[in-house]
Structure 1
């Protein structure tokens, strides 16, 4: 065995020993609900940065874990939050004022905000590791045997940071990341007998991708489209669609195999990419490094994209957290834009059952903390009438776009999820629903500062009302000025109320940014008063 292999094995062993501490911390009660710990939040998107750069305002997605600040409602909990760029003080104040029964100053004293002052497209965790003095400051701030670290997704970078700080990482080990990839997901689905689209194993060359596409088409001669996916993607940005209807003359029941393979190869440059400004030259260059799969595109007149979220405790117990109907966009409806909670009652309990089986398979492999599973649901006419046909698409072995809205609801209401109904109830047994998005984005919103947003929130009473437990919580506020992009979670006592709250926010922002028409076709600029502070 080579020396570097021994060193790697030693690191993995030390990391696993650190993670074993979490099992000692776990006292039959959710670790996040226990008081008296130091929580290090590393909201790094440690993934292929070329994929991430396709997402508008990607660097500001570190703000999606700011819901963690609400954990300071526990009076002995301390929290360290690290970002690439400094957060506006008003954003921090916005979150801390949501804490029930905790004075602002008390919570602020238990919060340490640190930054790398590095706006490059490197993973945040890498930026931290490159700054020894920052590392030492974090190390000194954490109490031994009373600290743990949380992140967006766990890679070798997060493992290295965990080892450097000697702090356990509450996340799935990076050694398990394969099971959250496109190809790994398909293996889990097969093992658990979960319905999923016909597709290929992992390939590392364009030639193999072409051959696997041909074999898939031969198995299903009536296929209209196939999806090519980079093995590691984010929010659908690594997906592309090949329209086989343009190659009908080469179909398995018509053309010759060699002609069909050549036609597929020649038409890959005409893929419909989900990521903005993506090209075949760039996409294909990622295949040898990341790998790719090809899958049958699921067709259907009425098609939805639900998901289920689960939680694996350090002791390997699995429970379902939530279900959602995802809101998708992009050229072929594969880009994550937002979600509605809960998923439709026609399939939410089925999602729970499938999600539980997948969670148990992940737990057997040693996974812990959050996981999510994306599905496609197509309404079909059967002998029993109309039914939803469910097929699994992928596993996310990390936090996702549905994590922060659900945790926002849970932390703001202190309520609970009922697996028997798939609904969420407050302590007063009031049902709660929400609609959330990371992508309320319009060019006219660009230029708004977080302070401007706070003025608008106060003027139009758009804030979350702690007495009724309804209203809006905003996030991604740092992306507003440059990208005109904002995130929000709108909570109501019904889905209709949640959607009405969302629409109200959008209408107010449109009005305040001058998206009005006076009948002449001209936009009306808002009248903003100048306030001097001496």
Structure 2
């Protein structure tokens, strides 16, 4: 056991030395804007894969980080992008054509696409590590002391790959991953005096969970619902909501005499409303010993929103706010991330920045770097229309979240800046930009559409992003379209109203075009192809 700990300690020390190189690279400048570096992009969702499998098209979420290809606008930057399955060539062409002022061929020559040809539900980084020859090929392609690695989230897998390649990982160290968990988030909020819902610390068995639920009810007799969260989750899929009406009736005697009727509470947990599709209490509870769980008060309100703030920690520890959003949530109880609007409502935008900065400063003191996000709930009741919104922090994301790729897409396409005084984003010619983004534009009718078909539709209706006026739509998750009828998109406008109009226009067109090939009997109709193309 001691030898194993010593080995882990040595690996951590070596990894920390690699990360120190980032501080040397930094020198007060934006690392991504410096020419002459090799960037290895490993878009691995290194999370509990049982959670990920409940997200339709989950394996295609590797495409979320394809905005990184826009880094090739720097003429001396080289980029390696690794995926589990090969990407359609037209998807790559689509992103490279977005590059302002760079010939397609010039950018393509500086891009190396690699794949594991492995469609299993394992983290991509694990798939890479299981292929030593692929690791060696990546290592030989990277220039020593001129390379670094970026990822979706950093775990021990990413740390191991970083060490094998001998390049630094530009992300929060896996040694800090606890602070991005549900329980770690609550600790940061407490330490930073940030308002957050009443709840529990981490528990690792159902008996302790039952006890924490009982304690929470004792402290809050008027609660209507509670949320049980696995300590690690993705887009709300690890959350479950419990309506307390029946439970409070059954345990009223327990609450009055100070005893705990564990059986009553345990039985009520079988009535949890799970956010993940087809989840069961048996499966959910079996993961508590492995992942841990917390319980929180469910924040109620007639008018309720879910804003978020995104921050950036440089390798030398400086913290800045880069964006705010109003998240679009769905699912049985509004716990599942579907998309976002940028920027967040101006009535609480500055408050989000203030609280988000406190979180970033706490994370920076612990040694975190790169992107982080904080999710909140904003509530205002009809009787308090003249009062400020009540802002409660929910969780910290020490990773690239669902709001990262749309904002970075906007930033890289326009080369604009975020103004912290107004909370708005301005292009180089001082025009404010807004957007609506989603990972979940989904319709069974879209199934069977290939990425090539999407490009035909985009060209026909001119739905693409227009680099001249910096408005239009940028698509992602195109690989999920044919099998799952699912697509991601970021609709950029000169106002939120215009962004909404663009989004609705795209939806209308896709619905129309996908219906053209189906008659009333749901039978496929042949397209009107040129004679030379017909069989």
Using the alignment, how far apart are the partners of 1:259 and 1:363 within structure 2? 41
The residue correspondences of 1:62-211 to structure 2 (distance < 5 A) are 62-211=62-211
In structure 2, distance between residues paired with 1:441 and 1:256: 51
- The residue number in structure 2 matching 1:299 is 300
Moved more, 54-63 or 507-516: 507-516
Name the residue aligned to 2:390: 389
Residue 464 of structure 2 is matched in structure 1 by 463
Cα distance in 1 for partners of 2:385, 2:405 equals 38
Q: Is the 8 A contact 2:303 2:382 kept in 1?
A: no
How far is 1:255 from its partner?
6.0
| In structure 1, distance between residues paired with 2:270 and 2:23 | 50
CA distance in 2, matches of 1:525, 1:495: 37
Kept after mapping to 2: 8 A contact 1:196/1:393: yes
Q: Once the 2 structures are TM-superposed, how far is the Cα of residue 383 of structure 1 from its aligned partner?
A: 7.7
Q: Against the structure 1 CA distance between its residues 383 and 153, is the aligned structure 2 distance closer, same or farther, given a 3 Å change threshold?
A: closer
Report Cα offsets for 1:143-183 as digits up to 9, x if no partner.
00000000000000000000000000000000000000000
Asked whether 1:431 is paired with 2:427, we answer no
Secondary structure of the corresponding residue to residue 385 of structure 1:
coil
Give the TM-score normalised by structure 1.
0.97
Deviations 1:15-37 (Å, cap 9, x if unpaired)? 00000000010021110111110
Tell me what 1:528 maps to.
527
Matches of 2:143 and 2:339, distance apart in 1: 37
Specify the alignment match of 2:43 in structure 1.
Answer: 43
- Tell whether the 8 Å contact from 1:249 to 1:255 is kept in structure 2 after alignment: no
Compared with structure 1, are the counterparts of its residues 26 and 444 closer, same or farther at alpha carbon in structure 2 (3 Å cutoff)? same
Cα 1:120–1:393 shift into 2, 3 Å:
same
Equivalent pair of 1:434/1:492 in contact (CA under 8 Å): yes
Q: Quick check: 1:235 aligned with 2:232?
A: no
Paired position in structure 1 for 2:7: 7
Once the two structures are superposed, residues 99-143 of structure 1 have per-residue CA deviations (whole angstroms, 9 ceiling, x without a partner) of: 111110000000000000000000000000000110110000000
Conserved in 2, the CA contact under 8 Å of 1:515 and 1:524? no
3-state SS in 2 of match to 1:455: helix
**Alignment pair present for 1:344 and 2:345:** yes
Counterpart-to-counterpart distance in 2, 1:336 and 1:301 = 20
1:16 aligns with 2:16: yes
Do the aligned partners of 1:302 and 1:378 also contact (CA within 8 Å) in 2?
A: yes
Q: Partner residue of 2:270?
A: 269
Q: SS of 1:126's equivalent? A: helix
Q: What is the match of residue 280 of structure 1?
A: 281
Q: Deviations over 1:26-52 (max 9, x none)?
A: 021110111110000000000100011
| Partner Cα distance (1:381, 1:318) in 2 | 36
SS in structure 1 of the partner of residue 515 of structure 2: coil
Corresponding residue SS for 2:373: strand
Alignment partners' CA distance in 1, 2:461 and 2:382: 46
CA distance in 2 between partners of 1:384 and 1:54 (Å): 39
Shift of 1:343: 0.2
Tell me, yes or no, if structure 1 residue 56 matches structure 2 residue 56. Answer: yes
1:383–1:59 distance in 2 versus 1, CA, 3 Å: closer
Q: Is the Cα contact below 8 Å between 2:149 and 2:162 reproduced in 1?
A: yes
Structure 1 residue 455 displacement after superposition:
0.4
Contact 2:229–2:240 (8 Å) recurs in 1: yes
Distance in 1 (CA, whole Å) between partners of 2:190 and 2:402 is: 25
Deviation at 1:322, TM superposition (A): 0.1
Partner in structure 2 of residue 355 of structure 1: 356
Indicate the residue corresponding to 2:483 in structure 1.
482
Unpaired runs of at least 5, structure 1: none
Deviation for aligned residue 1:264:
1.2
Q: Does the residue aligned with 1:465 lie in a helix, a strand or coil?
A: coil
TM-score, length of structure 2 as denominator length: 0.97
Per-residue deviation, 1:386: 2.8
Question: How far apart, in 2, do the equivalents of 1:380 and 1:351 lie?
Answer: 19
Q: Is 1:381–1:387's contact at 8 Å kept on the other side of the alignment?
A: no
Query: Partner of 1:246 in structure 2?
Result: 246
Q: How far 1:369 moved relative to its partner?
A: 0.2
Q: Cα 1:459–1:204, aligned 2, differ >3 Å: closer, same or farther?
A: same
Q: Deviations over 1:379-415 (max 9, x none)?
A: 1467892320000000000100000000000011110
Kindly indicate whether the alpha-carbon contact (under 8 Å) linking 1:188 and 1:358 is maintained by their aligned counterparts in 2: yes
Tell me the secondary structure at the aligned position of residue 300 of structure 1: coil
- Further displaced range: 26-35 or 500-509: 26-35
Relative to structure 1, the CA distance from residue 2 to residue 436 in structure 2 (aligned partners, 3 Å threshold; closer, same or farther) is same
**Please, what is the CA RMSD of the aligned residues?**
1.8
Distance 2:393 2:326 in 1: 14
Contact map agreement 2:518 2:525 (CA 8 A) in 1: no
- Aligned length, in residue pairs: 532
Q: Which 5+ residue runs of structure 2 have no aligned equivalent? A: none
SS of 1:338 mapped into structure 2: strand
Is 1:415 the equivalent of 2:416?
yes
**Deviations along 1:441-478, whole A, 9 cap, x unmatched?**
11110100000000000001000000010000000000
Contact persistence 1:513–1:526 (CA under 8 A): no
Structure-to-structure mapping, 1:399-410, within 5 angstroms: 399-410=400-411
State the distance in 2 between where 1:251 and 1:227 align.
Answer: 18
Q: CA deviation at 1:526?
A: 6.7
Offset, 1:262 = 2.4
CA distance in 1, matches of 2:522, 2:6: 66
- Residue in 1 that maps onto 2:212: 212
